[in-house]
Structure 1
């Protein structure tokens, strides 16, 4: 069942430099129980897309066109009785409707820095209980009991003691677990994780990713990851959406993106991924800079940074082409056109992918 469907989403921001067209026609699907990842460089539009889903765009942001349809099934909840199914276009909802019916209740978000997400003046118990008290008018005793359950679920030891703690008294990993508990407090159906492990060390990062996967299975959640770390993507995602300059330029199953990438930008991202055999002196970087979206983008936005760019790339924006033999792998590049010259991925990347495939098949 499809729980989220984004179609032709365009978002702009009014700035002193003029109108910035941050999102330029995004299409995205999310099914029940599925994990999708949105990857790309900083400024590619990953966070803006998910903030639009949550209805928390900055005041100068505007959804110019497109739809964000969220669908939920009728089900019975032990705490909230029968919950009717339905569909809502988030773009058309007022701030009050979003706050009352969608944000927190149906779609929740985990941000990358728990210290900016948590209130330093409130203890942990109050912060985990607050959404339940606000959204469901739950009595304090029931909210307290459920908060304890949630702290145990996210792996907080000595939960009763931690309920009285303040954010500054906890480690970074524990604070991120608290943020996840708050996000889960109203039993959402979709969990958006915006760089949830960026501020954490590698060991804690792995534990948090495992925790989210574990909770997803228990609660049958649909999860959206936003990240620039392809290592994280490899561990968690079913499908990957590669974003560049406000558009999705390649989408497919995890194996299709990692082992059979077709867009030169995806080649660049994968080539820039270090591994144990990488020599620091030859670590690849994508040349150039992303375009200024305050100016009109003509043709393929990646063309000035793409050594394989064709003449048509500077004139016309490429449509999404289906990759032969797959109904899930799509690429927005003129190199996929039947009449385009055949271009192979860089040899160094081919070697890296062959090595990854060999390790997987061991």
Structure 2
């Protein structure tokens, strides 16, 4: 088996935001690895830190945001075979803009309307990054833009080049955003809830499109989503985030079929299921902690029916799940001295059903 080539390594990333009268510790020591050609999904409730983590990779944090500690090492190989690694945290805004953003790492946002300039034609917006980053001539950029629009499934691309965003449907606009993201041949594509604003049939087509382009171009992809159905379709590895930390990580099969963290149990239990006998959809009790205050112990403890005394005092380390090199869980339940706790029976039945249906790919 060929050795996996690491393209992104995040270590101990901590980010805070200064708000009126308080400091929000939004990201609290995140570690993340991504390899060439692989897809990782970052999942969790709103406010768990998914988008902030990836905005830090792109160097587009809000003005009141500060990276307090950590490294974001990005590695790429030039066409001549030479390898380079840079810590994005240490780069200036100007360096990130000219070397990284759009050129080596591109991002597809949730709402295509906010990503596109309403006063510029589609063609101009697809051509612009090539001309800015590589000095591509207008003729060459036009030719490549038409090819890209065709590649992302837009019919009659030459005619569409003259259109403005408001003249296209939501699905078409998202295809244009993907074409712009791919215009400079990036190595890494970050998709922040790329299908949330679209209807279900268009969602499936956009996900298929991103997967096809990933295979064709050997891209590494990070998906940010709260939709576990999307995760099951696209991801190789899953990182579950809660209160600014990754609390469980593993392969798609490990997270879906053998989850170990009570929060992951809650997320999987809350997935809609058409065959359920329950009258109501499961919800995780309580709400996430206030990150303007120092979190004592395990941030999930107040909502966790299986919390131990130690959870209220000490933050759990990342435990390795026995027998796996990829499955890691930040829960004191994984400590060999902890009482044996099984996942809820209802979730076990649901997982057995998922195994039969082969939900994860």
Give TM class, smaller chain: over 0.9
Quote the residue 2:7 is aligned against: 3
CA distance in 2 between counterparts of 1:159 and 1:84 reads 36
CA distance in 2 between counterparts of 1:280 and 1:226 reads 29
The answer on whether the counterparts of 1:5 and 1:70 sit within 8 Å (CA) in structure 2 is yes
Quote the residue 2:195 is aligned against: 197
- C-alpha deviation, 1:278, in angstroms: 2.7
The structure-2 alpha-carbon separation of the partners of 1:329 and 1:309, relative to structure 1 and needing over 3 Å to count, comes to same
2:146 to 145, 148, 152: 148
User: What is the number of residues matched between the two proteins?
Assistant: 355
CA distance in 2 between counterparts of 1:156 and 1:255 reads 34
Q: What are the residue-to-residue correspondences of 1:237-252 with 2, within 5 Å? A: 237-252=235-250
2:159 to 161, 164, 170: 161
* TM-score normalised to structure 1 length: 0.97
User: Does the alignment pair 1:47 with 2:45?
Assistant: no
Q: What are the residue-to-residue correspondences of 1:169-208 with 2, within 5 Å? A: 169-208=167-206
CA distance in 2 between counterparts of 1:280 and 1:228 reads 22
Q: What are the residue-to-residue correspondences of 1:52-201 with 2, within 5 Å? A: 52-75=56-79, 82=80, 84-201=82-199
CA-to-aligned-CA distance 1:288-317 (integer Å, 9 cap, x gap): 000010010000000000000000000000
CA distance in 1 between counterparts of 2:177 and 2:48 reads 25
* TM-score normalised to structure 2 length: 0.97
Q: Secondary structure at the match of 1:62?
A: strand
CA-to-aligned-CA distance 1:115-164 (integer Å, 9 cap, x gap): 00000000100000010111111110000000001001100000000000
The structure-2 alpha-carbon separation of the partners of 1:348 and 1:280, relative to structure 1 and needing over 3 Å to count, comes to closer
CA distance in 2 between counterparts of 1:170 and 1:38 reads 30
CA-to-aligned-CA distance 1:185-231 (integer Å, 9 cap, x gap): 00000000000000001100000000000000000000000000000
CA distance in 2 between counterparts of 1:85 and 1:329 reads 29
Q: Secondary structure at the match of 1:71?
A: strand
- C-alpha deviation, 1:74, in angstroms: 2.5
Q: Secondary structure at the match of 1:69?
A: strand
The answer on whether the counterparts of 1:17 and 1:294 sit within 8 Å (CA) in structure 2 is no
Q: Which moved more, 1:33-42 or 1:82-91?
A: 82-91
CA distance in 2 between counterparts of 1:119 and 1:288 reads 40
1:21 to 10, 21, 25: 25
- C-alpha deviation, 1:42, in angstroms: 0.1
CA distance in 2 between counterparts of 1:142 and 1:298 reads 57
CA distance in 2 between counterparts of 1:204 and 1:358 reads 27
CA distance in 1 between counterparts of 2:20 and 2:93 reads 26
Quote the residue 2:34 is aligned against: 30
Quote the residue 1:308 is aligned against: 306
- C-alpha deviation, 1:27, in angstroms: 0.1
Q: Secondary structure at the match of 1:174?
A: helix
